[in-house]
Amino acid sequence: MTDIAYRFQNGFPKIGIRPTIDGRRKGVRESLEVQTMNMARSVANLIAEHLRYPNGEPVECVIADTTIGGVAEAAACADKFARENVGVSITVTPCWCYGTETMDMNAAIPNAVWGFNGTERPGAVYLAAVLAGYAQKGIPAFGIYGEEVQEASDTSIPDDVRGKLLSFAKAGLAVAYMRGKSYLSMGSVSMGIAGSIVSDSFFQEYLGMRTEYIDMSEFVRRFEEQIYDPAEFEKALSWVKENCVEGPDNNPAAIQTSREKKDQDWETVVKMAIIARDLMIGNPRLAELGFGEEAMGHNAIVSGFQGQRQWTDHFPNGDFMEAILNSSFDWNGIRPPFIVATENDSLNGVVMLFGYLLTNTPQIFADVRTYWSPSSVERVTGHKLEGLAANGILHLLNSGSATLDGSGEQQIDGKPAMKPFWEITEKEAADCLAATSWRPAGVEYFRGGGFSSDFLSRGGMPMTMSRINFVKGVGPVLQIAEGYSVELPSEVHDKLDNRTDPTWPTTWFAPILTGKGAFTSVYDVMDNWGANHGSISYGHIGAELITLASMLRIPVNMHNVPEENIFRPRAWGLFGTNDKEAADYRACSNFGPLYK
């Protein structure tokens, strides 16, 4: 079994498609059978063509065996969906149907209904009726209704309907895939960071996930008892020596570590990466070596490593481990990234997971460290910010844990990008490695040594920064900022970067401004950001994040997504249409966490 096959051996949730129909026979139902089933097939084809699972394979859809005209057929469909591991439900119809008799009553999975906009039969009437039923029964469902009237014979899916179907399906699959998986807390609270106080109730009630915990001493046990694949370790260490360029040591000469200590650190951090991966997903090789329990792993799709300070005061830091796992390649070649949060910041780890599941691309973990105003940049460097950076920039920087894909050395249409692993070439992976140096850790911060990745993100990449914060009495709250990476002249970057820690990776980020609220200015974005960390995803995915958050009942407190792109359950409008942010809070509070 290949590494990818082993990692995803339990499979993926499927999307169920429910063709509902007017149950009146002797003419009515018979006249609609072909059109209704064709709608279901067209949705299945759309999804299979455009959406991929994390292993790169097309998303699978399951269509009900028959059209659904009443409760008996609805029950038969529900039984089939349960057998087929359906985690997302889409109902389609071109006509009137019997609402509560044909609706999907599974409240634990995301539901959507596409009502065909045609004049021959009232698909829109059914859509309105069944969505009212969903709201009355406390099952928020998404309504999909095309803007333009279609002919009954038209089997195409209009662009606006396609967009909503795909947005719903992507977010719904993320919800379904998280359910039953784990967050692995490697260590405990790091330096008093609130996000590293891992909340089992949040993961259980909002995400349907377990929380698993190990003490960092487990790494020491596996070092000393050699609970790792020694052949893989030798392979990994050889690959590291060939591909990971060690950068200059910025420590004062008097406290620099010896060459012997640095070489020992490399061996340790490579072992840490292998062990952390094995802890997350297991490793069948360990069973062959006599470690059957350890071979199982913790079924974790996201993890966090405490590191500071209980680990890093004595052992090499976790930067290499985190950075290489978060990347799309290592000594075993190009592969799906893992999601590992620095400083065990579980709340940032969650939004990294959201971004990954929505895009299949790796995520940058960073401090939202500094707002640089145009006047401050000009005062310090003499340079006048221009273009995307004209209104100021945010310095996104943290201790070497960001995915190496964030260097922007991959390309889409000749422009810097971060891509799903199956689209990355060997040359692009090599370019990301070549653009990264591994700087000996600052021993004033990291007394145990180690190495931090150091790269500079290329400019021009569309990016979305997000973060979940937890508020007592409210619960989780999501914030989103779409923008772009920007490039500065090298001498300007150096002057700004050297004012902080130049051994860490940098992304210069310019959020898109709307002229109001938290996006009145770049300063306002920084001033309203809720924590010290953020997750940065390639692409403008704010709308998809909002859709996902509404499925999980997580309100959004700040975003710069155009209103016309926002897609939430239809019931959200029943909580108010003038102030949609307030309505979002009320709806999430009313319906409560998805799994509570």
Cα dihedral across residues 279, 281, 283, 287: positive or negative = positive
Listed in sequence order, the residues at least 6 apart from 572 whose beta carbon sits closer than 8 Å to its beta carbon are: 140, 550, 580, 583, 584, 587
Q: Which amino acid is at 199?
A: S
Q: What share of the chain is helix, strand, coil (3-state, %, to 5)?
A: 40, 20, 40
Q: Which helix (H) or strand (E) holds 494?
A: helix 490-497
- For residue 230, count other CB atoms closer than 10 A to its CB: 11
| Residue list for the binding site for Mn(2+) | 343, 367, 533
CB 176 within 8 A of CB 118: no
- Please, what's the b/e burial string for 443-465 (b: 16 or more CB within 10 A of its CB; e: otherwise)? bebbbbbbbbbbbbbbbebbbbb
Active site residue 278: no
Q: How many CA atoms lie within 13 A of 400 on its CB side?
A: 27
Active site residue 367: yes
Q: Show the CA angle centred on residue 303, arms to residues 302 and 304, nearest 5°.
A: 140
Q: Which helix (H) or strand (E) holds 381?
A: helix 374-381
Beta strands in 451-563 (DSSP E): 451-454, 462-471, 475-485, 506-511, 533-538, 556-558
Of 392, 388, 326, 320, nearest to 535 by C-alpha is: 326
Question: Which is the catalytic residue, given 212, 294, 330, 343?
Answer: 343
CB 188 within 8 A of CB 306: yes
Question: Which is the catalytic residue, given 367, 428, 454, 501?
Answer: 367
| Residue list for the binding site | 343, 367, 533
Of 137, 140, 81, 167, nearest to 593 by C-alpha is: 140
Q: Three-state DSSP class for 362?
A: coil
Q: Report, as residue numbers or ranges, the catalytic residues.
A: 343, 367
